[in-house]
Amino acid sequence: MKQILTLKIKHHLLLSLIIMIWFSACSGRRNLVYFSDLDLNSHKWKNITGNGEPVILKNDVLSISVNTSSSESNVIFASAQSAEMVNGVYERQGYRVNNEGNIKFPFLGEVNMEGLTLSQAQSQLERQLINYTKNPIVNMKFMNFRVTVIGEVNHPSTFLVANEKINLLEALGLAGDMTAYGKRENVLLIREVNNVRTMNRINLNSQDVLNSPYFYLRQNDVVYVEPDKAKSYEVSKSNKMMPLVIAGISAIAIFAATLINR
């Protein structure tokens, strides 16, 4: 009888250990290294497609300043951008690109901006303004260039990009990088252009992402880092108690076996 009880206790102990091993194996081993397929001994590199310079889209807000040889013209351009009170401070509203892709600009009226880079748009305005004022120099920047990084990152947030150029790795860096639970091989990029929303999967374990058309982000992109199954298991209330239950069963089994063997 004593041997039978001992065998039963050992059986329960073995079963508990198997369950613990099974749960620990469920999460699997994750590849946490970016570009892990990159051959460091190879000197063959691909040319990156595009320079990452964003283009102007509908509903973008542009800050445009014009300096000329005419003081009268400078006053007109300086007062053209209206301002509104925001948190007790006047902020310039800029020039909003309408649904036809145009802005309304002094002297010129409606000017099409959609699809142009900032440098192209600046050159276009300078060519048109030269018919109305002397030596126009145009400076332009986005006022609404933002990207959002959410999911399994350390500091999810929406970030205002000052230099209008940011790549996926830089955006993840602003968000404090991924946690260990983030799926590096399956990052989701959500992009909306002209009311058309696209969703693209990106594998950051692969060096091919460096040559991807989605490596450089556009205004209002959303980067979502999906958690792996291990994170879902960890946050489950029932699963949180499972290690304690298994540990308790094991402790009781060991204690009982010790008493019976005496």
* pTM assigned to the model: 0.67
User: φ, ψ for residue 82 (rounded to 5)?
Assistant: -70, 165
Give the tens place of pLDDT for each residue, 98-145. Answer: 999 999 998 899 999 999 999 999 999 999 999 998 899 999 999 989
Q: Which CATH superfamily is domain 61-142 in?
A: wza like domain (3.30.1950.10)
Give 51-109 pLDDT, tens digit per residue: 668 899 998 999 999 999 888 888 878 776 655 544 444 445 789 999 999 999 988 99
Tell the CATH topology of 146-227: Outer membrane lipoprotein wza fold like (3.10.560)
What is the C-alpha to C-alpha distance for residues 182 and 226, in angstroms, rounded to an integer? Answer: 6
pLDDT (average), residues 221-248: 70
For residue 222, what is the enclosing H or E element?
Answer: strand 222-227
Higher per-residue pLDDT: 5 or 190: 190
Q: Which of 151, 189, 166 is nearest to 54 (CA)?
A: 166
d(CA 211, CA 209): 5
Q: Which range among 206-210, 229-233, 258-262 shows the weakest confidence by mean pLDDT?
A: 258-262
Q: Nearest Cα to 70, choosing from 141, 130, 122? A: 130
Q: What is the rounded CA–CA span in Å between residue 204 and residue 90?
A: 42
Going from N- to C-terminal start, the domains of the chain cover: 2-29+232-261, 61-142, 146-227
pLDDT value of position 177:
94
The answer to whether the beta carbons of residues 70 and 137 sit under 8 Å apart is no
* Domains 61-142 and 146-227 belong to one CATH topology: no
